[in-house]
C-alpha cells in the first residue's frame, strides 16, 4: 500500500482536534489517502491540544512517537492482499447508539469475496496509536489488505477520541462499533480479533481483559504491536502535556496518586511507582489485569531498539507474567527500521505471520478453568459476580472437572454474591457434584448454585457427610443459596432427590415479629396428592424416611410441629398467620418442608426446604 506524504500526515495530525461532524449517519466511502476523514473530538471533550509535531520532536515519548511521519514507500508491503474498499461509519452518542453521549467514528470494509448469506466472516479490528485515530490504521499497516486476502471483514475504531487510553467510557464506544459490525454484516461473533499499536496495543489488551461476558463481545485472539501496558508508569515518566491529557475526565480524572484505580482498571500491568526508574520496576500482580488474559491467544511484536516505555524490559515482564499464568503468546522481536522514530511503527508487524497465528482461532466463552481480576461485576464464564465494594478489584478463580465431578471457586475476594451455573460449566447432570468455594477475605460471600438438570435438594459436608446447615432454596429457579463465611472454605457434595418436586415458599421472607406471613405449597398436578404434611422446625437434620426411599431435612425433633393441609384439585394450598409479636423471635430461622401424600398415605412428593427468617 502506498504511504502518504509527510505533508498529508501533518495535516491529519493538525485536524485531530476538530470536533465530530454533526451527522447521524454511517457509510460514506473513505477517499484514498485522506487520513483526516476520521477525526478526533478532542475539542468537545476538553482534552489539551496535541503538541506540534516537528522534526526535532522527542522520539522517546508516547505523545510524539505514535504520531511520527513515515516517508512514503520506505517499507515494502508485508501482505499479498490488494486494497479493500473502505468506508467511514458513525454511531451517534444516543442511548440506542454508543450510550455514552459521544459518537463513534470508525472505518470498515468487507472483503471482495464477501457473502452476506454464506458462512460468517472473521473480523479483524485495528486500533490506532496515540493521536492517530481510526483512519491511520490502514494508512500505516496492511491489516486491511491481508484481511481482504483472507476473506476477513475489517474494522478500525477511534474509541471516542484518539487521545484516550482505553478508559471505560472509551471502551463502551469500542463495543458499540464492534456490535455495529456484528449487527449489520455477516460476521462470526466467535472470530473477532483485535490488533493495536503502541498505546493501542495497551488499549486492546485492556479491552480484551475487561470483556469476558459470554453473552457479549469477546475477543478470540489479540495482537499487540510495540505495545505499552502500564498507564501509571506512562504518567509518571511522561511529559507535562501527557500528564495533563491523562488527568482529563475522559481519561482518568486526575493523577495516579489521586485516582489509582482508574489507571489500574484500564491497564494490564501495574508496576510499583516507587520501583522505577529504571524501567519497568517491580510488577504488582494483584493489581495487574493481565491476569485475565491467560485464556486468550496473543501475538506480540516490537523492534529490538524501540523507544523508552515500550522497550524490552516491560515487554519481557509482560511475557513472563502471562505465560506464567498459562497463556499462549507468540512473541516476536525484530530489527526493522534502523533507529528512532522508525523502529516504533506499525512496520514491525508482519501481517502475514500475524494472520497465520490467529487464523481459525475461536473464542472460549465458557472456559472450565479461569482466573479473574474484576474491576466490576457481571458474567464471566459460568459465574455471575456482584462485588461488595465498587471501584476496587475483586478476584475469583474457577476450575471445573467434568470427569471427576467437581467444581472449585478459590481466592474469592471482595465479592458480595457469586452465582455459579453448573450447566454452563458442563456439569449439570453430575450427582452428587462436589463444590468447593473459598473465601479469602473477612466478609465472605453468598453463593448461589444453579443450572442443574434436576432440582438440587441439599448439601452434605464432603468430609463428614453431615448436612450443611443454613442452606436456603429458591424453588422457582431450582437454586440453592449458601453463605460462605469470611476466611473459610465450603467443601460439600450437592445432592438431588427424585421426588423433591413440590414448591414451597413463604411471603414475605424475612418477616418481622408480629407480621403476617403466607405459606404456599404447589405440588405437581396429576400426581394424586391430597394432603400436605408440613413440618415447621428449628432444626435442620438429614433424615431418611419411607423405608429409606425418601429424605427430608426439616428435623422431626423438638422443637418442631406439623400442619396437615389439604390440597386443592391442582395440588395447591395457601394459608397464613401472624408471627408472635415477641422480640425473642427476632433472628430465628424456621425450617419449613412439606410431604405430599395420596389417599393411601403413600408419599408422592416432597417440597424444597424453606428457611423462614424472622427479623
CATH number for position 581: 2.60.40.1930
Examine the domain organization and report whether 468 and 582 are in the same domain. no
Question: Considering the domain boundaries, does residue 560 fall inside one?
Answer: yes
Q: Are residues 516 and 406 in the same domain?
A: no
Residue 62 and residue 22 in one domain: yes
Residue 1 lies in a domain: no
What's the mean per-residue pLDDT of the chain?
89
- Please indicate, yes or no, if residue 439 is contained in any of the structural domains: yes
Does residue 364 form part of some domain? no
In a domain, 272, yes or no: yes
Mean pLDDT, range 397-421, rounded to an integer: 98
Number of domains in the chain: 3
What distance in Å separates the CA atoms of residue 571 and residue 520, rounded to the nearest whole number?
Answer: 11
> Is 564 found in the same domain as 482?
no
Are both 346 and 481 inside the same structural domain? Answer: no
CATH number at residue 322: 3.40.50.1820
Tell me, yes or no, whether 54 and 78 share the same domain.
Answer: yes
Out of 316, 339, 358, pick the residue that ends a domain.
358
Same domain, 452 and 508: no
DSSP 286: G
pLDDT bucket at 73, cuts 50 / 70 / 90: low
Select from 335, 358, 381 the last residue of a domain. Answer: 358
Q: Among 425, 458, 493, which residue terminates a domain?
A: 493
Confidence band of 576 (pLDDT split at 50, 70, 90):
very high
Neighbours of 244 (CB within 10 A): 13
Mean pLDDT of 535-543: 94
C-alpha cell at 453: 438438570
Same domain, 289 and 376: no
The pLDDT of residue 349 is above 80: yes
Q: Write down the pTM of the prediction.
A: 0.91
The string of pLDDT tens digits covering residues 492-518 is 999 999 999 999 999 999 999 999 999
- Average pLDDT rounded to a whole number, residues 99-121: 96
Per-residue pLDDT, 10: 28
**Which residues form the domain of 558?**
503-613
Task: For residues 260 and 112, state if they share a domain.
Answer: yes
User: Are residues 120 and 246 located together in one domain of the fold?
Assistant: yes
Q: What are phi and psi of 467, to 5 degrees?
A: -65, 140
**Position 91 in a domain:** yes
How is residue 215 written as a grid cell? 453473552
| 363, part of any domain | no
pLDDT tens track for 366-389 = 999 999 999 999 999 999 999 999
Name every residue whose Cβ is closer than 8 Å to that of residue 600 and which is 6 or more positions away in sequence.
none
Residue 498 within any structural domain of the chain? no
Q: Domain check: are 479 and 528 in the same one?
A: no
Span 469-477, average pLDDT: 96
Q: What is the pLDDT of residue 134?
A: 93
Q: Are residues 428 and 484 in the same domain?
A: yes
From the CA atom positions of the chain, what is the Rg in Å?
30
Q: Which residues contact 144 (CB under 8 A, 6 or more apart)?
A: 81, 83, 84, 86, 109, 126, 137, 138, 154
Residue 240 reports pLDDT greater than 60: yes
Kindly give the residue spans of alpha helices, DSSP state H, lying in 248-393. Answer: 260-264, 312-324, 351-358
| 72, pLDDT greater than 60 | no
d(CA 316, CA 300): 11
Nearest to 445 by CA among 494, 398, 508, 395: 395
Of 9-23, 411-425, 429-443, the least confident: 9-23
* Region 110-135 average pLDDT: 95
Pairwise CA distance, residues 212 & 219, whole Å: 8
pLDDT interval class at 311 (50, 70, 90) = low
Amino acid at each position: 500500500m502506498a504511504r502518504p506524504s509527510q505533508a498529508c500526515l501533518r495535516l491529519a495530525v493538525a485536524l485531530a482536534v476538530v470536533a465530530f461532524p454533526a451527522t447521524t449517519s454511517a457509510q460514506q466511502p473513505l477517499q484514498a489517502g485522506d487520513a483526516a476523514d476520521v477525526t478526533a473530538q478532542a475539542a468537545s471533550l476538553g482534552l489539551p491540544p496535541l503538541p506540534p509535531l516537528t522534526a526535532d520532536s522527542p522520539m522517546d515519548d508516547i505523545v510524539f512517537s505514535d504520531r511520527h511521519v513515515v516517508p512514503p514507500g520506505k517499507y515494502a508491503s508485508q501482505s499479498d492482499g490488494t486494497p479493500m474498499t473502505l468506508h467511514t461509519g458513525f454511531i451517534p452518542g444516543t442511548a440506542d447508539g454508543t450510550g455514552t453521549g459521544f459518537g463513534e467514528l470508525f472505518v470498515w470494509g468487507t472483503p471482495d469475496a464477501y457473502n452476506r448469506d454464506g458462512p460468517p466472516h472473521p473480523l479483524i479490528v485495528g486500533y490506532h496509536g496515540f493521536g492517530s485515530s481510526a483512519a491511520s490504521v490502514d494508512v500505516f499497516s496492511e491489516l486491511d489488505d491481508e484481511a481482504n486476502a483472507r476473506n476477513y471483514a475489517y474494522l478500525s475504531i477511534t474509541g471516542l477520541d484518539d487521545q484516550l487510553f482505553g478508559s471505560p467510557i472509551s471502551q463502551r464506544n469500542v463495543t458499540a462499533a464492534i456490535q455495529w459490525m456484528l449487527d449489520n454484516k455477516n460476521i462470526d461473533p466467535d472470530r473477532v480479533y483485535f490488533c493495536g499499536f503502541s498505546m493501542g496495543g495497551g488499549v486492546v489488551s485492556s479491552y480484551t481483559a475487561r470483556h469476558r461476558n459470554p453473552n457479549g463481545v469477546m475477543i478470540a485472539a489479540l495482537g499487540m504491536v510495540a505495545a505499552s501496558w502500564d498507564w501509571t508508569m506512562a504518567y509518571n515518566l511522561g511529559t507535562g502535556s501527557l500528564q495533563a491529557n491523562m488527568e482529563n475526565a475522559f481519561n482518568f480524572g486526575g493523577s495516579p496518586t489521586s485516582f489509582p484505580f482508574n489507571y489500574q482498571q484500564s491497564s494490564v500491568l501495574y508496576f510499583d511507582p516507587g520501583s522505577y526508574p529504571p524501567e519497568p520496576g517491580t510488577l504488582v500482580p494483584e493489581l495487574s489485569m493481565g491476569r485475565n488474559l491467560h485464556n486468550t491467544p496473543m501475538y506480540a511484536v516490537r523492534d529490538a531498539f524501540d523507544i523508552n516505555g515500550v522497550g524490552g524490559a516491560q515487554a519481557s515482564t509482560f511475557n513472563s507474567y502471562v505465560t506464567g499464568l498459562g497463556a499462549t503468546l507468540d512473541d516476536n522481536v525484530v530489527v526493522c527500521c534502523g533507529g528512532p522514530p522508525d523502529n516504533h511503527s506499525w512496520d514491525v508487524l508482519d501481517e502475514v505471520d500475524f494472520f497465520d497465528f490467529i487464523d481459525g482461532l475461536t473464542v472460549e466463552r465458557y472456559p472450565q478453568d479461569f482466573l479473574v481480576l474484576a474491576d466490576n461485576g457481571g458474567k464471566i464464564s459460568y459465574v455471575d459476580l456482584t462485588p461488595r465494594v465498587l471501584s476496587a478489584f475483586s478476584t475469583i478463580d474457577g476450575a471445573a472437572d467434568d470427569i471427576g465431578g467437581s467444581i472449585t471457586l478459590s481466592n474469592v475476594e471482595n465479592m458480595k454474591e457469586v452465582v455459579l451455573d453448573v450447566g454452563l460449566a458442563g456439569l449439570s447432570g453430575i450427582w452428587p457434584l462436589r463444590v468447593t468455594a473459598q473465601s479469602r477475605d473477612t466478609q465472605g460471600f453468598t453463593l448461589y448454585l444453579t443450572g442443574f438438570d434436576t432440582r438440587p435438594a441439599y448439601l452434605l459436608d464432603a468430609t463428614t457427610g453431615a448436612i450443611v446447615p443454613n442452606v436456603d432454596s429458591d424453588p422457582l429457579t431450582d437454586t440453592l443459596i449458601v453463605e460462605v463465611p469470611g476466611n473459610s472454605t465450603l467443601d460439600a457434595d450437592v445432592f438431588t432427590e427424585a421426588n423433591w418436586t413440590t414448591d414451597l415458599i413463604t411471603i414475605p421472607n424475612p418477616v418481622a415479629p408480629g407480621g403476617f406471613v403466607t405459606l404456599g405449597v404447589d405440588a405437581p398436578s396429576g400426581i394424586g396428592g391430597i394432603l400436605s404434611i408440613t413440618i415447621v422446625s428449628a432444626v435442620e437434620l438429614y433424615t431418611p424416611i419411607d423405608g429409606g426411599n425418601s429424605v427430608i431435612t426439616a428435623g422431626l425433633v423438638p422443637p418442631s410441629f406439623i400442619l396437615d393441609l389439604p390440597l386443592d384439585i391442582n395440588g395447591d394450598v395457601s394459608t397464613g398467620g401472624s408471627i408472635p409479636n415477641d422480640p425473642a423471635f427476632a433472628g430465628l430461622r424456621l425450617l419449613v418442608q412439606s410431604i405430599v401424600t395420596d389417599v393411601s398415605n403413600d408419599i408422592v412428593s416432597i417440597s424444597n426446604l424453606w428457611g423462614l427468617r424472622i427479623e
